Chain A
Amino acid sequence: MEDIRFTPGLLPPEAEALRAEVRAFIADHLKGYSGVKRAKSWSGADPEFSKAMGAKGWIGMTWPKEYGGGGRSFLERYVVLEEMLAAGAPVSAHWVADRQSGPLLLKFGTEDQRRKYIPAITRGESYFCIGMSEPNSGSDLASIRTRAEKTADGWRINGQKIWTSKAHTAHHMIALVRTQPQDPKDRHAGLSQFLIDMKNTKGITIRPIRNMAGEQMFNEVFFEDAEVPADALVGTDGGGWGQVTTELAFERSGPERYLSSYQLLFELVREIGADAGPAEAAGIGRLAAHLSTLRQMSISIATMLESGETPNLAAAIVKELGVAYEQDMPGRAHDIAGISPRVGAGGFDQVMAYMTMAARSFSLRGGTREIMRGIIARGLGLR
Chain B
Amino acid sequence: MTGTSEMANILAETAGRLLQDHVTRDVLGAAEDGAWPQDLWQVLEDNGLTQPLAPEDRGGMGASFADAFVIAFAAGRRRAPVPLVETMAAGWLLGRAGIDVPPGPLALIDGGADLDFSGGALSGIAPGAPWAAQAGHLVAEVGGTVLLIPADAATIIPDRNMAGEPRDTVTFDKVKPSVTGALDLTASVPVARTLGALMRAAQMAGAMEGAISLAVQHAGDREQFGRPIAKFQAIQQMLARAAARAAQARSAAETAFLALDRAGGDLTDAEWDVAAAKVVAGEAAEIVYDAAHQTHGAIGFTYEHELHFTTRRLWAWRGEFGAETFWAQDIGRRVLARGADNLWPDLTARQRG
Contact = CB atoms under 8 A, between A and B. Distances in A.
B216 A10 contact: no
A244 B236 CA distance: 24
Contacts of B245: 321
Nearest to B238: A373
B336 A296 contact: no
A282 B325 contact: yes
Interface string B1-31: 1111000000000000000000000000000
B118 interface: no
A380 B216 contact: yes
A317 B244 contact: yes
A334 interface: no
B351 A284 contact: no
A380 B254 contact: no
B333 interface: yes
B279 interface: yes
A8 B247 contact: no
B135 interface: no
A224 interface: no
A13 B275 CA distance: 26
A99 interface: no
Contact of A382 (B1, B236, B255): B236
A293 interface: yes
Contacts of A288: 276, 331-332, 335, 343, 347
Contacts of A13: 352-353
Contacts of A292: 272-273, 276, 347, 350
A2 interface: yes
A292 B241 CA distance: 19
A282 B329 contact: yes
A280 B279 CA distance: 15
Interface in B260-313: 272-273, 275-277, 279-280, 283
Contacts of A382: 216, 219-220, 230-231, 235-236, 239-240
Nearest to B328: A285
Contact of B328 (A1, A282, A297, A303): A282
Interface stretch (A160-168, A194-202, A271-279, A358-366): A271-279
A280 B332 contact: yes
Interface string A288-313: 11111111110110010000000000
A7 B258 CA distance: 11
Interface string B209-221: 1001100100110
Interface string A136-178: 0000000000000000000000000000000000000000000
Which of B254, B255, B273, B332: most chain A CB closer than 10 A?
B332
A267 interface: yes
B335 A285 contact: yes
Contact of B231 (A4, A282, A383): A383
A381 interface: yes
A13 B353 CA distance: 6
Contacts of B335: 269, 284-285, 288
A12 B1 contact: yes
A230 B233 CA distance: 42
B275 A289 contact: yes
B254 to A, nearest CB: 5
B236 A377 contact: yes
A284 B248 contact: no
Contacts of A2: 209, 213
A87 B343 CA distance: 11
B168 interface: no
Interface string A1-42: 110111111111100100100000000000000000000000
Interface residues of A, number: 62
Contacts of B272: 292
Contacts of A320: 240-241, 244
A87 B344 CA distance: 9
Contacts of A4: 243, 247
Contacts of A276: 332-333, 336
Q: Main secondary structure on chain B at its contact with chain A?
A: helix
B352 A289 contact: no
A1 B209 contact: yes
Contacts of A266: 340, 343-344
A337 to B, nearest CB: 13
B348 A373 contact: no
Contact of B347 (A272, A295, A373): A295
A13 B244 CA distance: 30
B209 A293 contact: no
A376 interface: yes
A265 interface: yes
Contact of A9 (B244, B324, B331, B351): B351
Given A1-B243, A13-B353, A380-B240, A274 B336 contact: yes
Contact of A86 (B219, B327, B332, B344): B344
A285 B329 contact: yes
Contact of A286 (B4, B240, B328, B347): B328
A353 to B, nearest CB: 18
Contacts of A370: 237
Interface in A328-383: 370, 372-374, 376-377, 379-383
Nearest to A82: B348
B243 A380 contact: yes
A205 B209 CA distance: 51
A13 B239 CA distance: 39
A283 interface: yes
A38 to B, nearest CB: 12
A270 interface: yes
A263 to B, nearest CB: 10
A269 B346 CA distance: 14
Given A274-B336, A281-B329, 8 more contacts: A1-B243, A5-B247, A8-B254, A10-B1, A269-B335, A293-B255, A297-B248, A321-B244
24 contacts: A1-B213, A1-B216, A1-B243, A2-B209, A5-B247, A7-B254, A8-B251, A10-B1, A16-B353, A267-B340, A269-B339, A274-B337, A285-B327, A285-B331, A286-B283, A288-B276, A288-B347, A289-B328, A293-B280, A303-B1, A374-B237, A376-B240, A377-B239, A383-B230
Interface of B: 1-4, 66, 209, 212-213, 216, 219-220, 230-231, 233, 235-237, 239-241, 243-248, 250-252, 254-255, 258, 272-273, 275-277, 279-280, 283, 324-325, 327-333, 335-337, 339-340, 343-344, 347-348, 350-353
Q: Nearest 5 pairs between A and B by C-beta?
A: A285-B332, A285-B328, A281-B332, A10-B353, A377-B236
